[in-house]
Structures are given as C-alpha cells and as structure tokens.
Amino acid sequence: MLHMTAGEKVFQFFLILFITLMSVAMLYPFIHLLSVSLSTPAEAIRPGLHVYPLEFSLEAYNKTFASSQIWIGFKNTIFRTVAGTFLALFMMALTAYPLSKKYLPHRSFYTLFIVFTMFFSGGLIPSYLLIKGIGLINSVWVYVIPVMIQTFSLLVMRNFFMEIPSELEDSAKMDGAGDFRILLSIILPLSKPIMATVGLWQAVNHWNAWFDGMLYIQDPSKMVLQMFLRKLIVSGEEQEMNAIMNQAPGVEIVTPETIKAATLMVATLPILIVYPFIQKYFVKGIMVGSLKG
C-alpha cells in the first residue's frame, strides 16, 4: 500500500468502493429477509431499507416452528443429507478406486461407460418411468439411491486416488490384504481432504434438492423442506399458508409476508451458519477437479 503512485491510489479507492457495493448487493437480500422475519406485520411492509426491525416480533417464528409440516420437512431433509452423503461417499470411493488403477482390465472401457452418461441421457420422461417402474415412487429412498454416484465427483475422487503412490499399498498386499481392506485402511485415511470436499458437495446438493421430491413424492409425510418452501412461496398454496397462520393462536398477528420470511430464514440459516467454516473446502475441490481422461 505504501509504494503506490497517486493514480494507483485512486484506482485502489474506486476498486474497493466497487467491490464493497457488490458485497452489499450480495448480502442485502439476506439481511432484509432476516429483518422482515423478525418484524411485526406493520413493520414488515414499511417502505425503505430493512437492516434491523424497528418493531420486533418473534411471532412468525413461533407459528413456523409450531407447524408440524416444517418439522417433517426438516426430518426428511436431514435424512437425505446425512444418509445420501455417506452412501454417496461409500459408493463413489468403491467405484473410483478400481478406476484409479492403470492395470484394471478394460479400464478405458469402464471409464467411457461412466463418462458417456455425463453427456447423453434418456431425458426426463424415460427416467421418470424408470423410477416408477422400479417402485421408488413415494419412497424416501428415491432421494438417496438415484444420486448415489455423481459422475463429476467420482472423477475428482479417482484423480485424487491416482496421485497416491502405489508403494504404500504394496506392503499391505504382501500381508495378503484384499482390495477392499486396502481401500478402507490405506486409501481412505489418506484421502480425507477429497472426502471432505466431495462430501460437502453432496451435502449441499442434498440440502437444496427439490426437483426429485416434486416428481416422485406425493405423500406429505415424506416431503423435504425445500418442497414445502416451494409450495408456500413459489406456488403460493393457500392451504399450506393457512395451516401455519391459523394454528396456536398467539397474542400477536402474523401476515403471509412475515411467515414467508421466517420459513425462508429457517431453511437458509443452517447454510449461512456453517458456510464460513466450510467454504474453503469447496474452493479447494474446484482446483483439484480438473478432468483428466
């Protein structure tokens, strides 16, 4: 900062000003929503900036958390995130390990078999009919099983395994350890960084996923949080909104605006809270993620 010419100083000033404005544009919608969710109905529709509520109320959260549907949504979302992520890591490690070995017979054929699916698929209707045909409609496993392996993540994992020196496995082989043992006791402990990255990708995808639920799940007791939000906010279904607004009558009133803001915050806050701690793993993963044929 010290050895800059006057021109560079002016440039730095405007650069920092511009980037600050951009950051405000990125963050403001979330601050606005948080503020509205904590407001009284009159405050919620006040014109102008909403940085913090001038008239504070927790009633929207009271009603939201009193709704059984939001808890059902949370339960199913947590199920798919936890079960889906661990199952995906297991399946992907299992598949990536053999593919990382140059001596695997027909290795390039199996790799092509997998990579081809990134670029060509049957389309929505054939996939829908398949899921229907194998009886996964209205089963919570439809959230987890069809997305057990993500091809891009699989290839990232395979590339990481390829970098592990094979000498490390040799002594275990001498001792007669099988391939599965080697994967579990040698490869996986060395692959913690890539497992963290890929695991977090899967977890965020599962937390945010909604389309599979919309296609395959009709039973309200199996709906995920995002699906519930979609009904409330995007499709604007009054039945769902009234179910929240009319329950557990409190002293204060609520409006659809504050309820919407509160439910959106409830689904977003978990991500906002863990985000500062995990975002560096995502960025690292992108760097490792260069595809090699």
Residue 10 CB, shortest distance to another protein, in Å, is 12
Closest to another protein by CB, 29 vs 249, is 29
CB 184 within 8 A of CB 226: no
Closest to another protein by CB, 2 vs 251, is 2
Closest to another protein by CB, 248 vs 269, is 269
Closest to another protein by CB, 14 vs 249, is 14
Residue 56 CB, shortest distance to another protein, in Å, is 19
The sign of the CA dihedral 198, 200, 201, 205 is positive
The end-to-end CA distance of the chain, in Å, is 44
Spatial CB neighbours of 40, under 8 Å, sequence gap ≥ 6: 53, 55, 56, 57, 59, 252, 258
- Nearest of 203, 61, 53, 57 to residue 143 by alpha carbon: 203
Closest to another protein by CB, 4 vs 58, is 4
Closest to another protein by CB, 147 vs 190, is 147
Task: Please tell me the distance from the alpha carbon of residue 21 to that of residue 30, in angstroms, as a whole number.
Answer: 15
Residue 249 CB, shortest distance to another protein, in Å, is 25
Residue 80 CB, shortest distance to another protein, in Å, is 13
Tokens 């009709």, residue?
218
Closest to another protein by CB, 165 vs 293, is 293
H or E element, residue 171? helix 167-174
> What tokens were used for 282?
């995502």
> What tokens were used for 166?
């094979």
Task: Please tell me the distance from the alpha carbon of residue 142 to that of residue 125, in angstroms, as a whole number.
Answer: 16
Residue 46 CB, shortest distance to another protein, in Å, is 8
Residue 292 CB, shortest distance to another protein, in Å, is 7
Task: Please tell me the distance from the alpha carbon of residue 7 to that of residue 18, in angstroms, as a whole number.
Answer: 17
Task: Please tell me the distance from the alpha carbon of residue 242 to that of residue 136, in angstroms, as a whole number.
Answer: 31
